[in-house]
Copies of this chain bind each other. A is one copy, B any other.
Amino acid sequence: MRKQKYNIGILGSTGAVGREMIGILYSRRFAVGEIRAFSSDRSAGTEIPFGRDTVISRTVTDGAFDGLDIVLGAASSDVARRYADEIVGSGAVFIDNSSAFRARDDVPLIIPEINADDTKAHHGIISNPNCSTAITLTAVAPLHMISPIVSMTVTTFQAVSGAGVAGIDQLENELSGNEVNRPAFPYRIAHNVIPCIGSVLPDGYTDEEMKMQYEGGKILHAPSLTVSCTCVRVPVVRCHSVSVCVRTERPITADEAYSAIAAAHGCITANDTANGIYPMPLTAHERDSVYVGRIRRDLTDYNALDLFICGDQLRKGAALNAVQIAEILTK
């Protein structure tokens, strides 16, 4: 695909990720011709900022995707499945942020800093990884280049905006003592943490927790990778944090790891703990890069390193990564 301007559709444009996609298309000066912002009936007519202009969202009607080059998907898996054939049939490439197609062999799952070349094998759909997966893998991929990653033990600190605008509303209403009409979480999240995200599988893990292993194996081309993950919601508006123990085939020193991560695209090291420099939501807020720090040798396994990672999950974990994939297609 090589044009002067590209016509872009956004599916689920009025949600937290959809709005972010439109903002990022503008701020990265993507060569946008037309933008078509799609939404549910309920949200149709919403004005979404695009630089100094606004885009007005509309419902998906017959022929809605005609003439589009790329559709960025920021809707649910159900909505993604409903429209995928029509999008691809209309000739657009569908870059989808839902989990609907991530496991499919004919659908590349892409983090541009890691496996951009995999986009070449697409058949009309390219998937964007899960938010925590994108943030974590961007940080650990430089280690995988030094020595293959065998396994990871992961605990996440996931922001409420990971559950969309409803998650932000719940936290803000709870903190200000207002009634919460449509809670995004099964319990209060203000002054609480909720150690369960996604649906529970028979072995006691959630589908959210398994994404790190399944998606990680596919993106890193490491099918035998195992990841044991505990996903926890925390009362933070934006930015996911991740505590990771990464085991590699051969030991990597903390210094080697630091140098590799510091040199990697998409990563910023924040690794001077003694001087108060470590990754935090406060620092990663609205940033494109993933922050990596607390880099140290694990004390239980000489072949492992412990890291703390923080990234803006609406950006690298979702909207930015999708726009970066679109940029690959147009280069």
Interface residues of A (CB under 8 A from B): 151-153, 155, 157, 175, 186-188, 191-196, 200, 203-206, 213, 226-228, 230, 232, 234-238, 241, 243, 245, 247, 254, 273-274, 276, 278-282, 293-301, 304, 306, 308
Q: Which residue of B lies closest to A151 (CB)?
A: B300
Q: Which applies to chain A's interface (DSSP): helix, strand, loop or mixed?
A: mixed
- Provide the residues of chain B in CB contact with A196, threshold 8 Å: 273, 276, 278, 294
Bound-state CA distance A157–B271 (Å) is: 20
Beyond the given A155-B243, A196-B273, A204-B294, please list 10 additional residue pairs across the A-B interface where CB-CB is below 8 A. A157-B234, A187-B280, A191-B238, A191-B282, A196-B276, A204-B273, A204-B296, A213-B299, A232-B243, A243-B243
Shortest A128–chain B CB gap in Å is 24
Bound-state CA distance A196–B274 (Å) is: 9
- Provide the residues of chain B in CB contact with A191, threshold 8 Å: 235-238, 281-282
Shortest A149–chain B CB gap in Å is 11
* From B213, B245, B274, contact of A153 by CB (8 A): B245
- Provide the residues of chain B in CB contact with A186, threshold 8 Å: 276
For A191, A247, A274, the residue with the greatest tally of chain B CB atoms inside 10 Å of its CB is: A191
The answer to whether A195 and B295 touch (CB under 8 A), given A200-B274, A228-B300, A228-B306, is no
Number of copies: 2
Bound-state CA distance A237–B192 (Å) is: 8
Give the 6 A-B residue pairs with the shortest CB-CB distance, closest first.
A204-B296, A151-B300, A155-B155, A155-B243, A228-B299, A200-B274
Asked whether B300 lies within 8 Å of A200 as measured between CB atoms, the reply is: no
For A186, A245, A293, A297, the residue with the greatest tally of chain B CB atoms inside 10 Å of its CB is: A245
- Provide the residues of chain B in CB contact with A205, threshold 8 Å: 296, 299
Shortest A193–chain B CB gap in Å is 5
Bound-state CA distance A300–B306 (Å) is: 15
Asked whether A300 lies within 8 Å of B230 as measured between CB atoms, the reply is: no
* From B152, B241, B276, B293, contact of A193 by CB (8 A): B241
Bound-state CA distance A300–B226 (Å) is: 5
Shortest A270–chain B CB gap in Å is 10
- Provide the residues of chain B in CB contact with A155, threshold 8 Å: 155, 243
